[in-house]
């Protein structure tokens, strides 16, 4: 069937709420307004205000309420409008959700799912446009998901709701309108493994989330230059599926990591470090990284695009790695 990323996310919510009466959605404008990105549009009329709950503008307050509901046996899905606003709930996410199982000596799980929009490219300014999922991937006790495909947008939520621990789902804002075909029987997907989306033998391109489409485009153009690339969609940033990455690098002997986060202290730095630690003697060239420039994301369109990873920057990094110039 023809669908969009946004509709796939909505179908996942509808399916979860139909299958399990403990599941409910809460967040700013998720009800009457239909969600800031229209993901929950129509669900209030379908499931009622007890299960589609509009909250005050208090991220710390409603994330804390979601943690309490999870401790009480419910399966809350908490929507935070953008990743930048999640900083207001850092104490709840990191000091409570991620640690309560440990602090209780294994007595209390926190089965909460927190969804938020991440990423730039839509001229929303620095306070609505950053990619901070790499920060959260640093925290033990959390699972970090970054669905980039229609199948993962449809299927990751139900699997996440089965996890006894907190799961954060980062939805790149540029993907909501992406359309494509999705199997009519599409459902829950594995969230433990990265996916090899394209097979090549010259170089490994590693990415996730909103940069996946541009990496796939770069791989197609590189193929025309005789550079055939593996493309890996990481899908899960914590726990990281290093095995899939290392297996690919062992075949191609070169790697480019593409990450919309800032270069310093990023998830791309972690991946590059693991490759160097565990596959150093497989490498024929230094690991390349393509990240956002180290500036607050600009508002002006031409400056925003200049600050973000691009097809051209990915291709140039790949050419350097294979010694073809660029």
For residues 246, 251, 256 and 261, what is the CA-based torsion angle, rounded to 10 degrees?
Answer: -30
Secondary structure of 224-275 in HEC code, one letter for each residue: CCCCCEEEEECCEEECCCHHHHHHHHHHHCCEEEEEEEECCCCHHHHHHHHH
8 Å CB contact between 5 and 156? no
How many whole angstroms separate alpha carbon 76 and alpha carbon 58?
Answer: 17
Listed in sequence order, the residues at least 6 apart from 43 whose beta carbon sits closer than 8 Å to its beta carbon are: 10, 13, 14, 17, 25, 30, 31, 34, 52
How many whole angstroms separate alpha carbon 241 and alpha carbon 91?
Answer: 27
Question: Annotated catalytic, 243?
Answer: no
76 forms beta bridges with 24
Residues 7, 128, 130, 304: which is the catalytic one? Answer: 128
Secondary structure of 38-55 in HEC code, one letter for each residue: CCCCCHHHHHCCCCEEEC
Report the first-to-last Cα separation within the chain, whole angstroms. 41
Residue pointed to by tokens 């709950």: 53
Question: Annotated catalytic, 302?
Answer: no
Strands of the 23-27 sheet, one edge to the other: 52-54, 23-27, 75-82, 113-118, 167-172, 143-145, 236-238
- What is the DSSP annotation of 77-146? EEEEEEGGGGGGGHIIIIIIITTHHHHTTT------EEEEEE--SSS--GGG----HHHHTTSTT-EEE-
Residues 7, 59, 79, 270: which is the catalytic one? Answer: 59
| Closest listed residue to residue 144, CA positions, set 160, 155, 128, 131 | 160
Which residues are known catalytic residues? 59, 128
């Amino acid at each position: 069937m023809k669908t969009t990323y946004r509709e796939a996310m909505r179908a996942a919510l509808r399916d979860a709420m139909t299958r399990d009466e403990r599941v409910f959605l809460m967040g700013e404008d998720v009800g009457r307004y239909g969600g800031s990105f229209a993901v929950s549009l129509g669900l209030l009329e379908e499931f009622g205000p007890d299960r589609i709950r509009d909250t005050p503008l208090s991220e710390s307050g409603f994330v804390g309420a979601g943690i309490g509901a999870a401790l009480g046996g419910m399966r809350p899905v908490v929507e935070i409008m953008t990743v930048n606003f999640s900083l207001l709930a850092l104490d709840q996410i990191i000091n409570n959700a991620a640690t309560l199982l440990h602090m209780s000596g294994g007595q209390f799980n926190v089965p909460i799912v927190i969804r938020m929009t991440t990423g730039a490219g839509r001229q929303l300014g620095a306070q609505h446009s950053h990619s901070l999922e790499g920060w959260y991937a640093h925290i033990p006790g959390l699972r970090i998901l970054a669905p980039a495909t229609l199948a993962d947008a449809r299927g990751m939520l139900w699997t996440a709701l089965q996890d006894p621990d907190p799961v954060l789902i980062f939805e790149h804002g540029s993907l909501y309108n992406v359309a494509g075909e999705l199997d009519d029987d599409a459902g829950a997907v594995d969230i433990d493994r990265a996916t090899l989306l394209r097979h090549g033998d010259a170089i490994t391109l590693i990415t996730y989330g909103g940069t996946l489409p541009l990496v796939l485009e770069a791989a197609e153009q590189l193929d025309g230059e005789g550079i055939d690339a593996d493309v890996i969609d990481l899908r899960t940033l914590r726990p990281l599926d290093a095995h899939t990455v290392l297996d690919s690098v062992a075949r191609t002997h070169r790697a480019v990591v593409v990450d919309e986060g800032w270069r310093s202290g990023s998830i791309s730095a972690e991946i590059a470090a693991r490759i160097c630690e565990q596959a150093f003697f497989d490498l024929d060239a230094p690991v390349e990284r393509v990240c956002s420039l180290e500036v607050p994301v600009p508002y002006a369109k031409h400056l925003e695009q200049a600050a973000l990873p691009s097809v051209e920057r990915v291709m140039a990094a790949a050419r350097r790695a294979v010694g073809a110039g660029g």
